[in-house]
Amino acid sequence: MSLTLAASSAPQNVAFGIIAVVMCVAALGVVTMKNIVHAALALVMVLAGVAAQYILLQAEFLGIVQVLIYIGAVIVLFLFGIMLTRHPMRKTGEYDNDQRILAGLVSLLIFGLLAYLLTDQFRGDKLHLGQPTQTSAIADSIFRTYVVGFEVVSMLLLAALVGAIVLARRD
């Protein structure tokens, strides 16, 4: 499924806009909701939105991978984690700590900086979206140019796997 948008990009902008708004709201929800499960679900929405943006950017393989891994595995992990670490007696208490205000200020500051920088630098740059990226091109890139990185990531995954098991086993 590819959206052939050769001539105009107006539908793209609109789609991007809607998805972006949803993502932002969901993101805010992650960091502010009082119910932790609700926060996890909000995260799901963000991740789905990200996948949609990938497809909009003609990165179809990545979008599929995003859904598979993030929404499929990571969220499940999170939910398991939430479940396992709930304090039975405690009610869903406060999830925000004392430095909220300072944190808010800092993040606003950084956002302001980033926004200024990015717009200042890339104003007027236009994306020209052509054909969707070929998966084979990505595969080529991985297994040729970035094969070392690929191997390292494999190692990393292995280590993470082993580490997680070692850490979490009950003894």
Partner 1 sequence: MAEKAWLIPLLPALSFFVILFFGKKMPKGGSESGIIAVGTSFVLAVIVAAQWIKDERIVDQHLTWWSNGKAHITIGQHVDGLTAMMFLVVTFVSLMVHIYSTGYMHGDVRFTYFFAALSLFTAAMLFMVMADNLLQLMIGWELVGLCSFMLIGHWFEEKNNSSAALKAFFTTKFGDIGLMLGTITLFFAAGQTFHIETINKLALEHGALSHGLVLTAAVLLFLGVMGKSAQVPLHIWLPDAMAGPTPVSALIHAATMVVAGVYLVARVYGVFWSGFSIGNGGLNWMAFIAGLTMVLTAALAFVQDDIKRVLAYSTVSQLGYMVAALSVGAWTAGVFHLFTHAFFKALLFLGSGSVIHAVHSNNMSEMGGLKKYMPQTYWTFVIGTLALAGIFPLAGFWSKDEILLGATKNGYPYIFVLGLVGAFMTACYMGRAVILTFHGEYRGHGHPHESPRSMTVPLLLLAVPSVLIGLINAPGVLKFAHWVRFEVPGVEFEPPEHKFAVPLAAFSFAVAVAGLAVAYWVFYLKTAPNKGAFARSPLRTVKHVLVEKYYLDWLFVTVVVGFIKGPLARAAYWVNQNVIDGVVNAVGVGAKLVGRFTYDVIDQKGVDGIVNGIGVSASETGGVLRLVQSGRVQQYALMLFAAVGLLAAALILFT
Partner 2 sequence: MPITEYLLLSAFLFCTGIYGVLARRNGVLVLMSIELMLNAVNINLVAFSARLNDAAGQVFALFVIAIAAAEVGVGLAIVLLIYRNRVGVNLDEIDLMKG
Site residues for partner 1 per CB under 8 A: 97, 99, 102-103, 106-107, 109-110, 113, 116-117
Closest CA to 15 of 72, 56, 48, 50: 56
Backbone angles phi, psi at 146, to 5 degrees: -115, 35
Report how far apart, in Å, the C-alpha atoms of 164 and of each of 45, 85, 139, 167, 168 are: 27, 16, 29, 5, 6
Considering the complex, what minimum distance in angstroms separates the CB of residue 47 from partner 2? 7
Closest CA to 142 of 126, 159, 160, 154: 154
Q: Which does 50 bind (CB under 5 to 8 A by kind): partner 1, partner 2, none?
A: partner 2
Q: Which does 137 bind (CB under 5 to 8 A by kind): partner 1, partner 2, none?
A: partner 2
Q: Which does 80 bind (CB under 5 to 8 A by kind): partner 1, partner 2, none?
A: partner 2
Q: Smaller CB distance to partner 1: residue 35 or 107?
A: 107
Q: Which does 35 bind (CB under 5 to 8 A by kind): partner 2, partner 1, none?
A: none
Considering the complex, what minimum distance in angstroms separates the CB of residue 108 from partner 2? 7
Asked if 58 and 131 count as a contact pair (C-beta separation under 8 A), the reply is yes
